[in-house]
Structure 1
Amino acid sequence: MKHIRISVTLLFLVLTMSNKGHSQVALLAPVEPYFGQKPPDLTPEVFAPDIVSSEHHEWDAVFTPDMKEFYFSRKNNTSKKESHFVLKFENNRWHESEVERGVGGSISPDGKTMYYTNKYRERIDGGWSELKSLGSEYEDIDIMALTVSSKGTYFFDEYRRGGGGLLRYARLINGKREAPKPLSKELNTGIVNIHPFIAPDESYILWDSRRDGGYGGSDIYVSFRQEDGSWGAAINLGDKINTSTSQNGGYVTPDGKYLFFNSPDKSGNGDFYWVDAQIIEKLRPK
């Protein structure tokens, strides 16, 4: 199914600070947290066109739990330069600024920790700490995405060129992190399984997979936690989300209302799409 692009009509003031090479965007009206865009229904729409989604390739959308910071990355299709941004809601306005690589990624439900590959940052006054290692057990794992639940359980991928790799988890038990373990075969089937997102309460997990029965490229799947604690079957999110190109990076906003995902076209441009998160609940087995 074709995704829908709807323009956002907003008044923005753009100020370029040439001495820092950063841009700042200030919204002229106090609108939060979705930049004035009308929320979608069960049909995906491009998120914040010309504000976040552009003619270039964007990825790694994530809000802080208070919904007052939005991080994302962009690759210029002409220069091939990668840039990383944050939109902050301050003084009743949204302000955009450029941040260094590794600021973004995923953020813990309590907002205190930011994860990037096999490293993390801690929230400090005025921003985020320097990158720190997750520990020796993670240094040799090529992690693309790590997501954490409210219980402190890590869920993460391992990327291998040409396929392979595993989705793993590592629980926090009595304040100590257990050794990583692979998730079940229901999740670790197919050629590629990457970009996990765990619901804060661990009731479901989203991830990208290339496997038999998909629509083409990578599709986004969901598995729901069973009463006995095991993971249920991998369920394809269907043709409203997945198309003949690859869809990836499924992520549910901290308020639980919307599913975000990235959908590149055949030329490689990737926009953020969003859709009512009820599209996930409708797949939950009765």
Structure 2
Amino acid sequence: MRRIAVLPGLMVLAVTAVTGGASAGDATAVAHGPYLGQTPPGMIAQPFAPGIVNTEEWGDAGGFSQDMTKFYVSRWRHSRESEQPESVIFKRVGNEWHKVPMPDEERKLFESPDGKTLHFKAQYKERTPDGWSEMKSLGPAFEQIQIMTLKASAKGTLVLDERGTREGISILRYSRFTDGKWEDPKPLPDEINTGIWNAHPFIAPDESYIMWDGERESGYGESDLYISFRQEDGSWGEAINMGDKVNTAAEEGGPRVTPDGNYLFFNRMVPKAGGDGKRQSDLFWIDARIIEELRPN
């Protein structure tokens, strides 16, 4: 059975306005330069910000705000005996990144590409002249699904997953934004919904591709990252395994591309420090040109 240790972190890759906590001026700079001061990766996936984002004690996940001035890090416990980990926000001021605590009351939301909508499972907020609206429902059809991850395209099309059964049965769905509202979610085609544990979809802002993670007999081991490209007739092409530059015999999951389009981020289960045979989830990144390399001619 697939292990889903990455899921709690992936639920909070979200990007919301900081509503509390210390200001950047109250904290010591922890990094300088773009991407938390990290040397950009090439065409082989590398751990992102070891010792800053990736830690030895926790499962770690993270993502940039749409304006690339904040990086949200979610951490979660590996056992009930562990102390409560600290989820944090790195804020960029000028060329410096400052770490501030993530307020306990802050919602972990997924931001639409245009920055006008914040999604949280079956609910959302809209930007208003005075800030953000009250939380609204996407509709009864969404509320009946145990959503883990929901992402939006620039046109407002949503892709979403559901918490799978013990047998790994789970369906990826989509919903188009039409006449001022979202349609009831519909299953994506078999090209995408094949195998087991399909989860954590990401749709390109221009809807030219969808990425997700899942297990198939043709994969490298546990869950791998897959991609399907939009065809000329509007259908979705056959799922393509993203290859050994990304996937390993370990579990990979939660693909997402940075708002500037330059890098693909995802999580991988790696051996936990201490040599006790346990694993934890670390954040990796790779040049987003890997997507174009996989696009069929």
Which of 245, 249, 269 is the matching residue for 1:264?
269
Is there any run of 5+ residues in structure 1 with no aligned partner, and where?
Answer: 1-19
Aligned partners of 2:82, 2:132: CA distance in 1, in Å? 29
| Structure 2 counterpart of 1:203 | 208
1:244 maps to 2:255: no
Do 2:255 and 2:267's aligned partners in 1 also have CA atoms closer than 8 Å? Answer: yes
Please report how far the alpha carbon of residue 265 of structure 1 lies from its aligned counterpart in structure 2 after TM superposition: 1.5
Is there any run of 5+ residues in structure 2 with no aligned partner, and where?
Answer: 1-20, 272-277
Which residue identity lines up with residue 75 of structure 1 in the other structure? Answer: W
What is the 5 A alignment of 1:178-193?
Answer: 178-193=183-198
TM-score w.r.t. the length of structure 2 is: 0.81
| Structure 1 counterpart of 2:88 | 85
1:152 maps to 2:153: no
Q: Deviations over 1:192-212 (max 9, x none)?
A: 110000110000111011111
- Residues 114 and 80 (structure 1), Cα distance of their counterparts in 2 relative to 1, 3 Å cut: farther
Q: Deviations over 1:22-74 (max 9, x none)?
A: 99753277x34311111010011111111111113344422112101111210
Aligned partners of 2:85, 2:122: CA distance in 1, in Å? 20
What is the 5 A alignment of 1:38-77?
Answer: 38-77=39-78
Per mean C-alpha deviation after superposition, the further-off stretch among 225-234 and 111-120 is 111-120
Q: Which of the pair is proportionally richer in helix?
A: 2
TM-score w.r.t. the length of structure 1 is: 0.84
Which of 21, 27, 31 is the matching residue for 2:29?
27
Which residue identity lines up with residue 44 of structure 1 in the other structure? Answer: A
Which of 104, 107, 112 is the matching residue for 1:103?
107
- Residues 27 and 118 (structure 1), Cα distance of their counterparts in 2 relative to 1, 3 Å cut: same
Please report how far the alpha carbon of residue 169 of structure 1 lies from its aligned counterpart in structure 2 after TM superposition: 0.5
- Residues 244 and 172 (structure 1), Cα distance of their counterparts in 2 relative to 1, 3 Å cut: same
Aligned partners of 2:185, 2:257: CA distance in 1, in Å? 24
Which residue identity lines up with residue 200 of structure 1 in the other structure? Answer: P
Aligned partners of 1:56, 1:129: CA distance in 2, in Å? 37
Please report how far the alpha carbon of residue 91 of structure 1 lies from its aligned counterpart in structure 2 after TM superposition: 5.6
| Structure 2 counterpart of 1:113 | 117
Aligned partners of 2:132, 2:49: CA distance in 1, in Å? 26
Which residue identity lines up with residue 279 of structure 1 in the other structure? Answer: I
1:141 maps to 2:164: no
Note the aligned Cα RMSD (angstroms).
2.6
Per mean C-alpha deviation after superposition, the further-off stretch among 250-259 and 130-139 is 130-139
Aligned partners of 1:26, 1:260: CA distance in 2, in Å? 26
| Structure 1 counterpart of 2:294 | 283
Identity across matched positions, percent:
49
Please report how far the alpha carbon of residue 87 of structure 1 lies from its aligned counterpart in structure 2 after TM superposition: 1.5
| Structure 2 counterpart of 1:174 | 179
Please report how far the alpha carbon of residue 95 of structure 1 lies from its aligned counterpart in structure 2 after TM superposition: 2.4
Do 2:45 and 2:245's aligned partners in 1 also have CA atoms closer than 8 Å? Answer: yes
Aligned partners of 1:107, 1:156: CA distance in 2, in Å? 14
Do 1:120 and 1:131's aligned partners in 2 also have CA atoms closer than 8 Å? Answer: yes
Q: Deviations over 1:238-260 (max 9, x none)?
A: 11211111100111001110000
